[in-house]
Structure 1
């Protein structure tokens, strides 16, 4: 039976998580590779949308490719070029992209124990820690399958994302008005599709809902890039409300006695 431990999610919400271990039942390599490639190819193709959007925002082909090579976190890349394309302050755009990428640090803390890589390998593996590789890795029942899933997903997605970024940036001129195609929504849509099934508790759903409200409410009045920063306040706000409610509950029970 897989070991069950108390773990903390990226929203700071504790919950039981399955830890892949060498003692867990194995999974056929072909099944792991099939699932990993399915995610890598499906999401990697959206790099074309990023290349087009980036070029439409005024970035050169080289700048677009460098973002994919060295940043390699789709939602942050789309947030950055989207804010720049809307005329936002570069610092606000970079800050919004940074805070979106911070979630990968939480994944890294969890994946460090799951994958068990040596110290010399960790800096290289860290570059591939994103939503998709984390989702595939956490779904595996043992460490061998987790490492295989992480590697295949990361490699296929990284290669395909960068190739399609180049193709999109080069083909942007042929598409004409890139805004009319709505390709800037492809990356966030893929991210939401992966995030949705992970929102299993009431607290997580409340934080996501509040983030949407904050984003939509501040988008018309704040500079481009800033609404993303404001929406990040949803998680601590919900957690504070939950903590206050938890502290109030014992007091109410004591008074009822």
Structure 2
């Protein structure tokens, strides 16, 4: 759970140590200015760590933006791996500021839901009224006897039938309204593409950007349209992933690493 407090200074009110500590530790205006151009989504953190021994998954601390507001989580969030076979989605539901005595409080809660065609959520009226949005963290399909994993071996391995913590539909913050792909997805594409034979200057430039960090959605779309001769301006995360898979296939097989042998010239003796 996330809970961010902002002190309220009213007339005749005694300033408490807690309020002053919050001003010191949570420079809200500075944080808002730092991520002013970022759209809704995960800004940093919220990575997934699986614990097979204890049958738990940890979501690491991080920062998200929703409805123009910044939320930060200072501690990891843990949830138990579901034992019932089904399709699940883990969401972070975010709620607007509400006043409680001397503070404005902004909070968010994780919700593990069964993913179906309608994906109907039943919430109480109070929460629905204050809710400003939700962000998908991961989705997965469970099978009895198997453990949830996040050991992605390569780019193609980001999509499996079951027991994989999927990142494809995770909304990562960028300047684009729809966000961008998770950095882990782009990193795996960059690593796989760098090993291919049929690379042109656009491929090299794109995979270097992928390995360096976040890539804007518009850059990904421009690269896809160039390589696949498409003209669409908007794609879903799922479509972006499928198009990148196609591009990776078109780049051919991995180049062979030829071991260079050092040739030592023979000595010639002249009498």
State the TM-score bracket (shorter-chain normalisation): under 0.3
- Give the number of the structure with larger relative contact order, counting CA–CA contacts within 8 Å between residues 6 or more apart: 1
Higher percent of residues as helix: 1
TM-score (norm: length of structure 1):
0.27
Q: Greater CA radius of gyration, 1 or 2?
A: 2
Q: TM-score, normalised by structure 2?
A: 0.26
